Structure 1
Amino acid sequence: MKNLSVWIVIGMLLGATIGGFLHPVLSESTAQIVVSQYLSILTDLFLRAIKMIIAPLVFCGLVSGVANLQDTHAIGRMGLRALAWFLCASFISLLIGILACNLLDLGGEMASHLPVAAESSGINVAPFNLKSFITNIIPQSVISAMASNDILQIVLFALLFGIATAAVGGPLKVRVLELTDAVFDIMLKLTGYIMWLAPLGVGAALCSIVTTRGLGVLATYGKLLGGYYFALFLLALLLIGAGRVILGPRVFRLLRLIRDPLLIGFSTSSSEATFPKTIEQLQRFGVSRRVSGFVLPLGYSFNLDGAMLYQAFAVIFIAQAFHIDMTFTQQVGVLLVMLLTSKGMAGVPRASLVVVAASLPSLGLPASGLLLLLGIDPFFDMGRTAINVLGNSIATASVAKWEGDRGAETEPAPSPVGRPAGAHIEPLSNA
């Protein structure tokens, strides 16, 4: 795996180059779409291979960690610490998105590109419903939850199953833990095999995008994309700075370890695709299974920092494009609305676009404004997915530090029953 990052970068460069060549050659949009669809087969295969191991990883990792806990209060403590981090990170992400768009005034130059106000964006949305969100946390069928990779539902079932396993105790607990530990380690080994498909998957993903949209779209929206990535860069610095305060110099070791998941997330625009490799690298960093198995899945539902920044950024941009002045109070309202609605969209396809589309009417903005961003959304999505991975990795490692987690910076190995893998040698508190 040592050269996987190099191969991923090579795949990205080749994909962009081939796509840039095919776009002008296939002058008809129909031909571009057809070729793009065939190119995306490789990406789809890679993503499906990744998704098929997410449910077993989340379930077995969390059951093993929870059942091994000696302190039952640790679950609630970890949950509160994780949610406190998620809330603060979400607030800061939204604030940076709003401030960056205000300072750069990126929407003011879009008058010639404005769509008709009544034009549909094509994004199907439903109003946020707190009742539905809360009731949907509990799965009607755990099989259905695993089949659809509903992370939040899987986490809840695994949490309850782990608590019940710990309560049963005795030989039955030992047998369950032997099975879950074995399945978890096998899934990590399988992750290693699947990751070698990553260069093909990410290369095909970029090639597909550039074939249909061309590199020229980057020049047309260059200033907008530049401002957006500048905001993402500021958020990344803040997240790394927070990690430096909590983890000390070891945060840079963490950044090196999550290099592959960052590249995969950036090129495929899929947070799910990064999950198995991220949990493996966190284990190498020294985060035990009980923490990574609990905090990381929650983060994929509640701590999408890059997506939060994008949502605030997009709303302010659309207001500027239509020359709608938003007061300070209204912009604070944007922040609060996004803080709520984004949590209810966990697991929704193209969730960031859905959140923006759902929020525009309630904020008095034309829903058609989303059309300004749809054409280049794949390039937005690449950046926000990478930041999601960064934010969740630092959040998980930070909660582990607060929990006094101990772990060794080595390749994960099968763990004996009753103790999480890597639960020895080097404390996370070492700076």
Structure 2
Amino acid sequence: MAQELVIPVEPAAPYRTPWYRALFTQLLVAVVAGIVVGALWPHVGAELKPLGDGFIKLIKMVIAPIVFCTVVLGIAHVGNLKSVGRIGVKALIYFEAVTTFALLFGLVVGNVLKPGTGFSIDPKTLATGADQIAKTTQNGSLPHTVDFLLNIIPTSMLSAFAENKMLQVLFVAVFFGVALAKFGENGPPVILEGIDHVSRIFFIMIGWIMKLSPLGAFGAMAYIVGQYGLKSLGSYGKLIGCCYLAAVLFLFVLAAIARIFAGVSLWKFLKYIREEMFLALSTASTEVVLPRIMTKLIDAGCSRATTGLVVPTGYSFNLDGATLYLSICVLFLAQALDVNLSIGEQLTALLVLMLTSKGMAAVPGSSFLALSATITAIGHGSIPVAAVAILLGADRIMDSMRVSVNLLGNCVATLVVANWEGQLDRERLTRVLNGESVEPLRDPDPMAVNV
């Protein structure tokens, strides 16, 4: 029999998008253009807010079903409640440890740099501060701890999606995923394949929406600069510089955590998610990148179950950037009013912020409410609650700092918990971060294991 001739074929070189069509390049051009328009024509920039708002609404429209599908598929393939519960407990332990450290870190930076010194605010000028805060927070309030926990349970399964409440969607997804895993013990049910197809359809929709991201970033940046002006940078320069410096220093903390507990180079990971980071920075929102960041974490080797549980939960419980900002602002307000807070009063502020910083993401003006509650708890008569209004001029500028640290902190949390749970494909992660080509994921979760 004649021997078959085998002709070696060189593997096709991976296709590289031209630099001018890369999303990062388009976002960079859009952000620069937004800054220019906002600075030169403030009124025009302020009118471009609908561009950013519309893009964010489009993303929010598909977040709930994507989170639901991702979590359900991950849990169904893991196969039991014990493993899911273990992931959740480990995530909460990590969240509490890191956010508490972030609060302490912010207090240290605030005590060393003293951003409020020299501001010299007269308490008599703060009479209208309470009205300004009420307007910003829409007369809302932070929920009591018990109310917050009870509100995780939706009124109905459909209301969680209709109201787009992330923790409620996550609760429904976990419940449904565990039940589906139990139902499929004797073989995977057809519904699992159907959910997988639905998930793919929503990711196609996200791909279309993301093509509008440069337009959204342009509108958001033009509005920020046009509405608040570059002059705010001068008025609050010391506070802004202090917060951004604290954020940069905290990135080194996250880098150490990623290296020690997950064996990951944070700088390589930053390069891997640079488009998502830049989009979050320009729109001052982490929600706009939630679907993409989950996809990238899964593609980099994190299990679908871990990613689906840790990332959405982290959006409420792991706000590293927000906690940094809050602890620094407590000291800023005291220093601006020439009040010297004792160690005991600062520890009281720390304990209050540990509670008020959880679940604050969905509450309008939550940072002001958290600060108001903290100042009230300190009980220092020389710091009126209305003093929080001092921060109105700088708060919006701080959003980019907060969202960037929040986003990166949640990515590191996912990597750490996945590695802790043994659901991190380290070989795939190394290849992805090194820019090497990898096989596309065929199974919804190659790292899923039955425990």
Matches within 5 A, 1:22-421: 22-23=41-42, 32=43, 35-36=44-45, 38-111=47-120, 116-119=125-128, 120=130, 121-122=133-134, 123=137, 124-126=139-141, 128-169=143-184, 173-364=188-379, 365-407=383-425, 408=428, 409=432, 413=440, 415-416=442-443, 420-421=444-445
SS of 2:417's partner is: helix
**1:66 to partner: Cα distance:** 0.8
Name the aligned partner's letter for residue 166 of structure 1. A
Q: 2:36 aligns with which of 17, 20, 38?
A: 17
Contact map agreement 1:63 1:158 (CA 8 A) in 2? yes
CA distance in 2, matches of 1:421, 1:193: 25
CA distance in 2, matches of 1:412, 1:39: 42
Distance 1:115 1:4, change over 3 A: farther
Contact map agreement 1:181 1:415 (CA 8 A) in 2? no
Contact map agreement 1:62 1:290 (CA 8 A) in 2? yes
Contact map agreement 2:415 2:424 (CA 8 A) in 1? no
Contact map agreement 2:80 2:182 (CA 8 A) in 1? no
Give RMSD over aligned pairs: 2.2
Deviates more, 1:239-248 or 1:110-119: 110-119
Contact map agreement 1:305 1:387 (CA 8 A) in 2? yes
CA distance in 2, matches of 1:80, 1:276: 23
Contact map agreement 1:283 1:412 (CA 8 A) in 2? no
**1:231 to partner: Cα distance:** 0.6
CA distance in 2, matches of 1:251, 1:324: 39
Distance 1:329 1:266, change over 3 A: same
CA distance in 1, matches of 2:248, 2:58: 31
Distance 1:346 1:316, change over 3 A: same
**1:346 to partner: Cα distance:** 4.1
For these two proteins, the number of residue pairs brought into alignment is 411
CA distance in 2, matches of 1:240, 1:189: 33
Contact map agreement 2:37 2:45 (CA 8 A) in 1? no
Name the aligned partner's letter for residue 376 of structure 2. P
Name the aligned partner's letter for residue 141 of structure 2. A
**1:36 to partner: Cα distance:** 4.6
Long gaps (5+) in structure 1: 24-31, 425-431
CA distance in 1, matches of 2:227, 2:247: 25
Name the aligned partner's letter for residue 19 of structure 1. G
Long gaps (5+) in structure 2: 1-15
SS of 1:5's partner is: helix
SS of 2:340's partner is: coil
- Quote the sequence identity (%): 36
Name the aligned partner's letter for residue 89 of structure 1. V
CA distance in 1, matches of 2:368, 2:188: 44
**1:47 to partner: Cα distance:** 0.2
CA distance in 1, matches of 2:414, 2:207: 21
TM value normalised by structure 1: 0.89
**1:272 to partner: Cα distance:** 1.1
- Post-superposition CA distance 1:126-164 (Å, at most 9, x none): 364122112111000222211222111111111011111
